[in-house]
Structure 1
């Protein structure tokens, strides 16, 4: 893949996670010769997270493919830089202009096993321990669940209540992986967002976090985006 030499794939984690959630995807992409970095988000507000993503993009050279998981869909939607050639949404939230993450997250009925989420006294939302094995990644191994629980990072209420500006998916090619067995974001909500975006869609019987449990599916859709926009 000659075009991979000067391109970078930037992977963006969602709530209750960090860059290590992409480990299996990173390894598979690097094995194929791609430059890969993750964008560390503070998860303190959507504006803060957008600024953090910009700092990561600024550290790269050449064309960029952005992939975001869950909450990070709203974050990659802020990336209007010309070097960003494609957006890849992995079971991700894609609010439209004027919408908040919370509005699209709660658009459809929750799964019976979805965790009960509420902010703490400091305005941060933590995932309950049982939420990781019951909804966040119910198909993950015990070891993956243990690590994910240990490294979880809470998200501020401000992050999900801040209205977005005009999203980049209105002007950039977009791909969307629909997680059919998602217990965090209703699959009907995912399909609604993907169709509204006019994204190229792939749908699989995977849980909310296929970067852990079905990384080959995630790699395939990222490479499809790269091959379509960088060739």
Structure 2
């Protein structure tokens, strides 16, 4: 019996990069004048880490909404993101960090989303789980997850700064460590139904000192989705430690999709 996962996998192989590119540049009404930005945090963190990016973007005239993911399941995080998208008054750039990349990949098919920005983020395909993205890659030894009996995971405290926020000030890294939001680890085994990057143009920020992901994995994910890549010397906490650069990439995405719509 042919499984749904196999069908989706075949579909993924059948779409050539040229076909994906052609699909992404087709005009649609969702891409006109994107002045809204929706920010989606990843695992082990909450939305407060986006404050620097929020300040940068609001100063440039954007309307910014920050999603607070419950991290209890992929469905719950996608629902939280969709609620935020429903509140937008027009087209929006949807941005995800780390696990937030999986969330925006599923939620980004929302009609108000005009572009996707992946900030050191995961980008599974439809029919694929997040965990499968790690196949064939080696997670750096600094990134250690401590999973509790209830199935929720934290980054191991003694490894937190090295694995998550090595370029953050010691006090900021300590605050992030002690305010961790655990994720239900079963979320990584949830099969995605949609892959928004197949129909929406994508950008990617890759932190070259990220110790949560194999660098090959980050580049391979960005290459597969056809993202415009910006590299920066930063840790996995790049969404917090490099707010201007991240805001610049979001601004570029918004301007490009707006220009194509006009």
TM-score by length of 2: 0.83
Task: Please tell me whether residue 24 in structure 1 is matched to residue 52 in structure 2.
Answer: yes
> How far apart are residue 6 of structure 1 and its match?
7.1
Aligned position for 1:125:
153
Aligned position for 1:38:
66
Task: Please tell me whether residue 139 in structure 1 is matched to residue 167 in structure 2.
Answer: yes
Task: Please tell me whether residue 108 in structure 1 is matched to residue 143 in structure 2.
Answer: no
Of structures 1 and 2, the larger Rg is shown by 2
Task: Please tell me whether residue 70 in structure 1 is matched to residue 98 in structure 2.
Answer: yes
- List gaps (5 residues or longer) in structure 2: 1-30
Whole-Å Cα distance in 2 between the matches of residues 74 and 228 of structure 1? 23
Aligned position for 2:195:
167
**Cα deviations by residue, 1:169-189 (Å, 9 ceiling, x for unpaired):** 000000011111110011110
> How far apart are residue 66 of structure 1 and its match?
0.5
Q: How many residues align?
A: 228
Task: Please tell me whether residue 226 in structure 1 is matched to residue 260 in structure 2.
Answer: no
**Cα deviations by residue, 1:113-142 (Å, 9 ceiling, x for unpaired):** 222x24211110111112321110100001
Task: Please tell me whether residue 186 in structure 1 is matched to residue 214 in structure 2.
Answer: yes
Whole-Å Cα distance in 1 between the matches of residues 120 and 253 of structure 2? 16
Other structure's SS at 2:149 match: coil
The question of whether the paired residues in 2 share the 8 Å contact of 1:50 and 1:75 is answered with: yes
The question of whether the paired residues in 1 share the 8 Å contact of 2:143 and 2:155 is answered with: no
- Greater shift in the superposed pair: 8-17 or 91-100: 91-100
The question of whether the paired residues in 2 share the 8 Å contact of 1:4 and 1:34 is answered with: no
Q: CA RMSD in A?
A: 1.7
TM-score by length of 1: 0.93
Whole-Å Cα distance in 2 between the matches of residues 209 and 4 of structure 1? 31
Whole-Å Cα distance in 1 between the matches of residues 119 and 253 of structure 2? 12
- List gaps (5 residues or longer) in structure 1: none
Aligned position for 2:35:
7
Over 3 Å counting, the alpha-carbon distance change for 1:200 and 1:41 in structure 2 is: same
Runs ≥4 residues deviating over 6 A: 3-6
> How far apart are residue 4 of structure 1 and its match?
11
